[in-house]
Amino acid sequence: MKLILALIKRDLTLSLRQGGGIGTALGFFLSVVVLLPIGIGPDQALLARIAPGALWIALLLSVLLSADRIFQQDYEDGSLDIMTMGPVPFEMVALAKAVAHWLSTSLPLAIAAPLLGFLVNLEPSAILPLALAMMLGSIALSLLAAIGAAVTVGLRRGGLLVSILVLPLYVPVLIFGLSASQPGAAPGLTTASLLILGAIALVSLVVSPLASAAALRSYLK
Amino acid sequence: MQFLANPTRFLKIANAALPTVWAITIVLFAIGLYGALVTAPADYQQGETVRIMYVHVPAAWMALFVYTVMALASALALIFRHPLADVAAKTAAPIGAVFCFLSLATGSLWGKPMWGAWWVWDARLTSMFVLMLLYIGYMAIWAAIEEPHKAAMVARVVALVGFINIPIVKFSVDWWNSLHQPASVFRMGGPTIAGPMLWPLLVMGLAYTFLFLALHLTAMRAEIAARKIRQIQIAEIGDR
């Protein structure tokens, strides 16, 4: 357990000191949100209606953009090879990396996104449910992104392939995330959707370490 | 299963079975198409366009069935290291993708006169579309990784993760929005389709299944041959 925490801490430090982690993702998120009203026109009523969806899609894209960084560097400099031989089960190494990605990228984005909602005229009453849904959803987003990153780690142009592989898996998160954060939704609907988001996060928590570790092993042989 | 582990033995059986399988396919298609286009009545609401159903519905069944075959083969490869399972999974993917595309395309042609639009964001259409994307991603992995052994191991993971996700996607989009009619053949309490329309549909389903079997055996045979050629070429480079 101590070793796993050390792994997470190492990855967090690396992503903070190297730059290009949360800064880039947040910058990308901002530019998508700014381009959107330019693309569809500045109508306030229309913007308010599509605000949760727009924020969710910006979140998915920003998480995907940083996904291929989860294993890439450690694969290239050989750290992953050493980790396969260490005392920590390799599945837990994969999980630690996904958790580090969640803490360094997805969670800050999920917290920042509802606050940036004023740019697209998000209704104030929708901020809290949206923040909750995004925090729960971002767990699944990071875990699924880790599978995509592991599957394409040895490829030179893996970035685009990650999106093709992972975006279909993001559909349920997007659907339930949206239904939790609709402005006019009944309170029961919000709770139910949040519970389902939690369930999706738990399923990914089981599947992701197994799948990522299996894919990484085949590259490391 | 272990009996088929030897590629030579598999090829012998496949070569012996293929002409019969093709013959059954052709006969079934002849009966099914005759039933679908000639004897089956036109629908009282949808008119003659209902005949698209006989091409559309079996294609959708097959798209799901082939993905299941792919996932099963991947699981067999992962658990038992069955030497032909990866070949089976790899060659099933393009066939399944074509069935999936066929069901989307005929569905679109059917949707225009019935719903007044080529495409609607309905639950079934969306989940079939996601299935299509999964097929494309799976094939992209095989194309992107040069070394066949490594590609096989990664592709297994992709196929199985996709297989776990299909029910989740299906259930979430159902909940999201549904316009498509509910299942009417395989349901509790028997089918709701009238007999003269039902039997051509079932025959067509069987015909599609045999078509898949024939195509799949042929594709597996080709893949085994391609691997042999690759090995011969590598050996020749080594000799030089």
Prediction ipTM score: 0.83
Structural domain count of chain A:
1
pLDDT digits (tens, 9 = 90+) for A87-140: 888 889 899 999 999 998 889 888 888 888 888 878 888 888 888 899 999 999
How much is the mean pLDDT over chain B? 84
Higher-pLDDT residue of B14, B101: B101
Q: Is residue B188 part of a domain?
A: no
Contact A168 B130 (CB under 8 A): yes
B-chain residue closest to A197, CA distance: B172
Contact B133 A179 (CB under 8 A): no
Do residues B173 and B127 touch, judged by C-beta distance below 8 A?
Answer: yes
How much is the mean pLDDT over chain A? 86
pLDDT digits (tens, 9 = 90+) for A65-85: 888 888 888 888 888 888 888
Least confident of A125-139, A198-212, B41-55, B103-117: B41-55
Q: Is the pTM of this model over 0.90?
A: no
Q: Please name the amino acid found at residue A121.
A: N
Task: Give the pLDDT confidence score for residue B10 in this predicted structure.
Answer: 84
Structural domain count of chain B:
1
The whole-angstrom distance between residue A39's C-alpha and the CA centroid of its chain comes to 25
Task: Give the pLDDT confidence score for residue A183 in this predicted structure.
Answer: 66
Do residues B208 and B200 touch, judged by C-beta distance below 8 A?
Answer: no
Q: Is residue B186 part of a domain?
A: no
Size of interface A-B (CB pairs under 8 A): 75
Of chain B, the end-to-end C-alpha distance in Å amounts to 39
Categorize the per-residue pLDDT at A184 as very low, low, confident or very high, splitting at 50, 70 and 90: low
Categorize the per-residue pLDDT at B192 as very low, low, confident or very high, splitting at 50, 70 and 90: low
pLDDT digits (tens, 9 = 90+) for B25-35: 999 988 888 88
- Enumerate residues 161 to 180 of chain A having a beta carbon within 8 A of any beta carbon in chain B: 161, 164-165, 167-169, 171-172, 175-176, 179
Instruction: Establish how many alpha carbons lie within 13 A of residue B129's alpha carbon, considering only the half-sphere containing its beta carbon.
Output: 13
- Residue in B157, B130, B129, B125 with CA at minimum distance from that of residue B141: B157
**What are phi and psi for residue B178, nearest 5 degrees?**
-135, 130
* Structure-block tokens of residue A185: 């939704």
Contact B126 A214 (CB under 8 A): no
B173 contact residues in A (CB cutoff 8 A): 171, 175
- Residue in B86, B30, B92 with CA at minimum distance from that of residue B218: B92
Question: Alpha-carbon distance B196 to B38, whole Å?
Answer: 11
Least confident of A128-132, B102-106, B132-136, B173-177: B173-177
Task: Give the pLDDT confidence score for residue A159 in this predicted structure.
Answer: 73
Task: Give the pLDDT confidence score for residue B101 in this predicted structure.
Answer: 94
Task: Give the pLDDT confidence score for residue A209 in this predicted structure.
Answer: 92
Interhelix angle B148-176/B53-80, rounded to 10 degrees, is 130
Question: Alpha-carbon distance B22 to B20, whole Å?
Answer: 5
Question: Alpha-carbon distance B66 to B159, whole Å?
Answer: 12
Residues in B whose CB is inside 8 Å of some CB of A read 78, 126, 130, 133-134, 136-137, 140-141, 144-145, 150, 153-154, 156-158, 160-162, 164-165, 168-169, 172-173, 175-176
pLDDT digits (tens, 9 = 90+) for A32-45: 888 888 888 888 88
B158 contact residues in A (CB cutoff 8 A): 151, 165
Q: 3-class secondary structure for chain B? A: CHHHHCHHHHHHHHHHHHHHHHHHHHHHHHHHHHHHHHHCCCECCCEHHHHHHHHHHHHHHHHHHHHHHHHHHHHHHHHHCCCCHHHHHHHHHHHHHHHHHHHHHHHHHHHHHHHCCCCCCCHHHHHHHHHHHHHHHHHHHHHHCCCHHHHHHHHHHHHHHHHHHHHHHHHHHHHHCCCCCCCCCCCCCCCCCCHHHHHHHHHHHHHHHHHHHHHHHHHHHHHHHHHHHHHHHHHHHHHC
Contact B154 A215 (CB under 8 A): yes
Question: Which residues span the domain enclosing A114?
Answer: 2-220
Q: Report the pLDDT averaged over residues B77-88.
A: 87
Task: Give the pLDDT confidence score for residue B38 in this predicted structure.
Answer: 79
Q: Report the pLDDT averaged over residues B109-115.
A: 80
Question: Alpha-carbon distance B199 to B191, whole Å?
Answer: 11
Q: Please name the amino acid found at residue B214.
A: A
Contact A168 B134 (CB under 8 A): yes
Q: Report the pLDDT averaged over residues B222-230.
A: 89
Instruction: Establish how many alpha carbons lie within 13 A of residue B31's alpha carbon, considering only the half-sphere containing its beta carbon.
Output: 15
- Is the pLDDT reported for residue B189 higher than 60? no
Long-range contacts of B174-180 (CB under 8 A, 24+ apart): B174/B123, B174/B127, B175/A175, B175/B123, B176/A175, B176/A179, B176/B123, B176/B126, B177/B121, B177/B122, B177/B123, B177/B126, B178/B122, B178/B123, B178/B124, B179/B115, B179/B120, B179/B122, B179/B123, B180/B122, B180/B123, B180/B124, B180/B125
Categorize the per-residue pLDDT at B181 as very low, low, confident or very high, splitting at 50, 70 and 90: low
Higher-pLDDT residue of B191, A152: A152
- Residue in A2, A190, A206, A4 with CA at minimum distance from that of residue A89: A4
- Contact A189/B at CB under 8 A: no
